[in-house]
Chain A
Amino acid sequence: MSLLRRWVALWNQREHARSLALVRILLGLVILYDLLELWSLDLVVPLFAPQDAGGWVDILSREPGFPYTLLPPDAGTAVLFHGALVLAALAFTLGFFTRSSTLILLLLWSAHAYSVPPASRAVDQLCRDFLGVLVLSGAGRTLSIDALIRTGSVRGDGSTIGAWARYLIITQLVVMYCTAGLQKVGMLWMPMGHFGALYVILQDPAIARFDFAWLAHQPAYLLTQLGTLVTVAWQIGYPLVLLWLYYKNTPDRPGRLRAFANRYRLHWVWIGVGALFHLLLAATVEIGIFPWAMLAAYAAFLLPPDPAAERPDFGPAERRCWLGCERVGNQEGEGAPKKGPQSA
């Protein structure tokens, strides 16, 4: 098969919607929590309203964006804006008019980022990137109100969706980690800087959750140095997770590296290090929802269930998708669906 055909075949794979639905629900809960926390801290007007109405950023001195092009630039509009974001996030999480609510959430969030740039962080950008993928996906096909309305069951009817969305979320994670690692050009990330980066970050009062002055003593400092080394190496080497996933789903092919990777489940090592990394981040630094948004996206690594197991009358057999799901199906005229890998 030519490279182009393989490329097209890859993105044409189909799979059960459950993994993507989990991404939708977990990410939605994180976004909702952030928006509600903002409201509970009485920061809606400061972060959404123009300066003259009590906002912190002089929104109107720049070319004003939505909603201030349509509605009065006052605190009431700010509250309305925030309320609309909350409703959109709630609908997105519950899977109610999923595509529309995802698009509305994305556009409103983007408008807010344009209005108040200092309050928009890397995690906001990342979540919008994920939302861009989820808009056109079938993330509402299961575990959603949409599924309940359409099929009478929250689980839906087991119909398949394009696997491309889950692949793109995984790709986004890979790009983010790898480029973040490549851009760690400060000498403190390197041997010449004694791998002192994590130690220095944990001395920053604006970022560290606690006073970590005690890390200056051994063996604590050595642990931070090891952590620095592992962080950079793991981030730059993160694209290898794609290779490990490919090996996992092509176990019948030869190769000692493939055998090694499958025997020791290297894809889970990479994913596990990431999960541990984010949990440690959450425990030691105050960077808001970033660790939790990342962990929500990790649901994309979960293998979707076999659609045939959900639907015994599943249609013709499909090719195996190499990034994580195996589908079997019954050919016309055959009996019960077969389990196990199919040849590509």
Chain B
Amino acid sequence: MITSMLVVHGLFAVPLPQRVTPADLSDPEAAEEVARWAILLGVQPDWLGHTVVQVTAQIRDGSKAVRKPFRPMMRLFGWGQSWAMFASPDTWPDRLEIHLRVQGQWVLLYRRWDADHWMRGVLRYRRVRGIYDAANERSVPYWNVSRWIAKRALLDHPEADAVRVRAMQLHTTLPGQEPDPYEKPHLVRVHKRSSLFPDDDLAP
């Protein structure tokens, strides 16, 4: 039984690449990585990206078939052997920012490292970070998290009539490279008090 469990977990532990789609390659970090490898290998980035998509799809289909019989057991016990942690460090990280609208002006309430005292424990908690970090525009949990944050902010700050939650995409360059002051807001969610508390009742 031990041997069979080792074999099953071993099947899931084999470090196979995740399936890469053309949409994944449009991510700036992924595009940067492909460009670096293309220069190193002396090939065109487009060709390399296309090849990566094809090869990872085939690997994925093959591994899926082999692992399929054991998935119900792995799912039941929540087991897994996915350990691709920091496989490709994020050179386009997001920084969470929260602003209050007070008398028509946006006032900073929370910015990571800068002014991160409000709800610090919650916003740093690993499960919360897991939801807002690496979210995309279609992410329902991110929308719900932003609403929850907005409600809390409005309860704590009765003078505000709206809350803006957003992620500022930054660009990290290595020492010796030209620093990039790039900052682009995305995942912007604005929540008005009138929408969150329609009866003008401060209770959640």
Residues of A participating in the B interface, judged by any CB pair closer than 8 Å = 7, 11, 37-38, 40-43, 46-47, 51, 54-58, 106-107, 109-111, 113-114, 118-125, 128-129, 132, 164, 168, 171, 175-176, 179-180, 182-189, 192-194, 196-197, 199-201, 203-207, 210-211, 216-217, 221, 286-290
Contact = CB atoms under 8 A, between A and B. Distances in A.
B23 interface: no
A144 to B, nearest CB: 23
Contact of A180 (B85, B122, B128): B85
Contacts of B145: 46, 56
A124 B93 CA distance: 23
A277 to B, nearest CB: 12
Contact of A182 (B15, B96, B132, B174): B15
From B9, B15, B96, B124, residue with most partner A Cβ within 10 Å: B15
Interface string B82-114: 111111111101111000000000000000110
Contacts of B144: 46, 51, 55-57
A324 B71 CA distance: 33
A205 B78 contact: no
A57 B140 contact: yes
B77 A118 contact: no
B121 interface: yes
Nearest to A290: B126
Interface in B135-189: 140-141, 144-145, 148, 170, 172, 174-176
B127 interface: yes
B129 A286 contact: yes
Contacts of B131: 56, 118-119
A51 B124 CA distance: 22
A132 B79 contact: yes
Interface of B: 2-3, 6, 9-10, 13-15, 17, 33, 36-37, 40, 75-91, 93-96, 112-113, 121-122, 124-133, 140-141, 144-145, 148, 170, 172, 174-176
A132 B76 CA distance: 11
B125 A187 contact: no
Contact of B83 (A114, A122, A171, A206): A122
Contacts of B148: 46, 54, 56
Contact of A106 (B10, B13, B78, B113): B78
Main secondary structure of the interface of A (DSSP, over half): helix
Nearest to A10: B2
A242 B145 CA distance: 44
Contacts of B174: 194, 196, 199-200
B90 A200 contact: yes
B76 A110 contact: yes
A43 B75 contact: no
B52 to A, nearest CB: 11
A330 B34 CA distance: 65
Nearest to A8: B3
A197 B75 contact: no
B25 to A, nearest CB: 15
Given A118-B130, A129-B80, A192-B36, A216 B175 contact: yes
A242 to B, nearest CB: 13
A168 B2 contact: yes
Contact of A183 (B3, B87, B133, B140): B87
